[in-house]
Amino acid sequence: MKPWQTSLPSAVSIALLAGAALALFSSGLCLGAGVTWTLMHPEPRPGLPGPAGSALDHPARPGAAVVAGDLEIRVTGAVRPADDTVMKGSMLNPRPGPGNEMILISLSITCRPTEDNDPCNLIPALDFLLASPAGVHRPKWLVTGLPNLLPSGEVATGETVLGDLVFEVGKEETRLVLVYTESWGSHTAYLAVP
C-alpha cells in the first residue's frame, strides 16, 4: 500500500484536516450523512433478498468476501472488548464512555479493478460505518500506537491490505454490521461482525 504523501509539516496537515472536518460538520454537509440516513430509515425491499452483503438486513457472514466497486472486502475477526488494547497503544487514544466499550474489527481488502490497472483508494475514516439496531457508529480515527490499524492510501492492483478499525459501541449492542460505502462512488457492502 502506498500512503498519500504531503509536503506540509504534520502539525499543519492536522490543523488543515481538523479545520476541514469542522467546516463539513458545522455546515451539515458531513460525508456519509446520506448513508447514515439510509441506515436509520431503510426502505422496504419487496421480494427475495439479493446476494449476501447487498443489504443491511442481509450482510455477508464473517470471512465471506463482498465485492464493492473495485474492492473485495472481508471481515476476518473482531476483538471485543478492546479497551485495554486501545489504551495500551497510547494514553492519548480515546476512552470509551459510560456503558460503552471499544471493538477492533479486522479486515482484508483486495484491489481488483474491473476496467483498468489504476490503484484503488482507501479512506477508512470516511468509507466505513458500524451499524446495529441501537444506532450508527463512525470509526475512531485519532488512534495511535496500535500495530495493525487499517491505513489510508492507494492500494495497487492485486494488492491485499490487512488491518483493524476501531469503533466505540454500547456494551449490550449486538447484530453489528460493518458498512462500506465508497467515498466518491456508489458501491456499498454490508458485512456481519462476529
Phi, psi of 72 (to 5 degrees): -110, 120
Q: Tell me if 139 is assigned to some domain.
A: yes
Please tell me the total count of domains within the chain. 1
Q: Tell me if 12 is assigned to some domain.
A: no
- Give me the domain span that covers residue 68: 31-42+51-192
Q: Tell me if 17 is assigned to some domain.
A: no
Q: Tell me if 5 is assigned to some domain.
A: no
Q: How would you write the pLDDT of the chain (194 residues) with one tens digit per residue?
A: 766 554 444 555 555 555 555 544 443 334 444 444 445 545 555 555 688 999 999 999 999 999 999 999 999 999 999 999 999 999 999 999 999 999 999 999 999 987 777 899 999 999 999 999 999 999 998 899 999 999 999 999 999 999 999 999 999 999 999 999 987 778 999 999 99
User: Nearest to residue 32, comparing CAs of 141, 153, 135, 125?
Assistant: 125
Distance from C-alpha of 124 to C-alpha of 165, rounded to nearest angstrom = 8
Q: Tell me if 23 is assigned to some domain.
A: no
User: Nearest to residue 139, comparing CAs of 183, 191, 102, 188?
Assistant: 102
Domain CATH code at residue 75:
2.60.40.1240
- pLDDT number for residue 45: 54
Q: Tell me if 6 is assigned to some domain.
A: no
